[in-house]
Amino acid sequence: MALPVVAIVGRPNVGKSTLFNRIINERLAIVEDRLGVTRDRNYAQAEWLGRKFDVIDTGGITWDDGKIEEEIRAQAEIAIDEADVIVMLTSVVNGVTDLDEKVAQLLYRTKKPVILAVNKADNPEQRANIYDFYSLGLGDPIPVSSSHGTGIGDLLDEIVSDFPHDTDQKADDVISFSMIGRPNVGKSSIVNKLLGENRVIVANEEGTTRDAVDTPFVKDGTKFRLIDTAGIRRRGKVYEKTEKYSVLRAMSAIERSDVVCLVLDASTGIREQDKHVAGYAHEAGRGIIIVVNKWDLPEKNSTSAKDFEKIIRQEFQYLDYAPILFVSAKTGQRLDQIPKMVKKVYENQNQRIQSSVLNDLLLEASKLVPTPLVKGKRLRVYYMTQVRTNPPTFVVFVNDPELMHFSYQRFLINQLRENFDFMGTPIKIIPRKRK
């Protein structure tokens, strides 16, 4: 489901990261690193008055050799391309600077709503100085103090009121999926082939909404939506080459997909960056298909696919549920399997299992393996019920949730997989104490 996206832009040191952390309530301060995946701190979910949205701190997407003007240009481009609402941040401490004017000028090009916020307005005297900022031509400046937390509510009110009305509407019968992966694995080539050789990619009109780059198509009577073909459209832009940006784009595509195709390159093998992207997809709880592209390139014998599969299973152990397809965008080999598999995974992640059936399974499972004994206390499992789909999530009522270690959850997940077709989808187990 697509959430509205808010981007924060502005010259260095005005307090973008501080504001970002304020808006997301610093929830990301705790970096989860269970799978060797460090969450990207430049992209996070936030909520205001019950409206959820994503926030991008474009200032965090830096260049190794970046000249400041080029960075600012790239930031503005990212915001214009990715966001629904743009917050231009500046600081009352230095007044209006040349760089502020440069940022503002870049933002004049977009039809998207731009909100001007003036940071470091920590006290009434400073708040009185914000009138200079009218000269930027971006409307009423909103004074905020990101470090003190004042004015943030007014800013968020303004942001939320500018959200497009239909961003989180989605037709129920359309399956959204995306191609993610590091640069050059062949994502665009696959997309182009899937959509038909001669399809013209719509040029980037200023102010087009993000949805315009999501391409709907129908295959064998099923409606699909291919998310974020922007990689093609945006080719050549300055920011396209930075790794941080490609991670950010992957995350935004993952958020909006039901099923994610993780594209690998058969000719180069698996790289570190492939693992980062895979980790995000897994953590997001989306359906996953591993697509090994460029299968026309490696020398092959009867065991090649098996060998490659073995390596994939070793490198992505937590993706043991993901099916693998060997394809070639160049020859078209097996590309028609992609929509078929996406549909299958979508069905799997949306299936609902009756509680009575689940409890038969629990009974059988307890006969197979006794529940663990932890410090002299035995785990008792009473009842299991599916509380949601996509991803399938099961609440298990037990005597003491502390006793239900990861290994027993893992065992239950395996039992579920053996008895039902959950190929391609993660499964979540939530232990609860029976009252």
Binding site per annotation, positions: 10-17, 57-61, 119-122, 181-188, 228-232, 293-296
Q: Which is nearer to ligand GDP, 222 or 273 (CB)?
A: 273
Q: Which is nearer to ligand GDP, 330 or 340 (CB)?
A: 330
Contacts of 273 (CB under 8 A, 6+ apart): 182, 243
Q: How far is the CB of 433 from ligand GDP (least distance, A)?
A: 42
Q: How far is the CB of 217 from ligand GDP (least distance, A)?
A: 18
SS3 annotation, the chain: CCCCEEEEECCCCCCHHHHHHHHCCCHHHCCCCCCCCCCCCCEEEEEECCEEEEEEEHHHCCCCCCCHHHHHHHHHHHHHHHCCEEEEEEECCCCCCHHHHHHHHHHHCCCCCEEEEEECCCCHHHHHHHHHHHHHCCCCCEECECCCCECHHHHHHHHHHCCCCCCCCCCCCEEEEEEECCCCCCHHHHHHHHHCCCCCCCCCCCCCCHHHHCEEEEECCEEEEEECCHHHHCCCCHHHHCHHHHHHHHHHHHHCCCEEEEEEECCCCCCHHHHHHHHHHHHHCCEEEEEEECCCCCCCCCCHHHHHHHHHHHHCHHHCCCCEEECCCCCCCCCCHHHHHHHHHHHHHCCCCCHHHHHHHHHHHHHHCCCCEECCEECCEEEEEEEECCCCEEEEEECCHHHCCHHHHHHHHHHHHHHCCCCCCCCEEEEEECC
List binding-site positions for GTP: 10-17, 57-61, 119-122, 181-188, 228-232, 293-296
Q: How far is the CB of 263 from ligand GDP (least distance, A)?
A: 6
224: tokens are: 């699909």
Q: How far is the CB of 110 from ligand GDP (least distance, A)?
A: 20
Q: How far is the CB of 352 from ligand GDP (least distance, A)?
A: 36
Q: Which is nearer to ligand GDP, 85 or 266 (CB)?
A: 266
Q: Which is nearer to ligand GDP, 280 or 408 (CB)?
A: 280
Residues 21-42 as b or e (16 or more Cβ within 10 Å = b):
bbbbeeebeeeeeebebebbeb
Q: How far is the CB of 230 from ligand GDP (least distance, A)?
A: 11
Q: Which is nearer to ligand GDP, 72 or 329 (CB)?
A: 329
Chain positions contacting ligand GDP, by CB under 6 A: 10, 12-18, 59, 119-120, 122, 145-147, 181, 183-189, 231, 293-294, 296-297, 328-330
Q: Which is nearer to ligand GDP, 252 or 386 (CB)?
A: 252
Q: Which is nearer to ligand GDP, 60 or 323 (CB)?
A: 60
Q: How far is the CB of 280 from ligand GDP (least distance, A)?
A: 16
Q: How far is the CB of 46 from ligand GDP (least distance, A)?
A: 16
Q: Which is nearer to ligand GDP, 231 or 431 (CB)?
A: 231
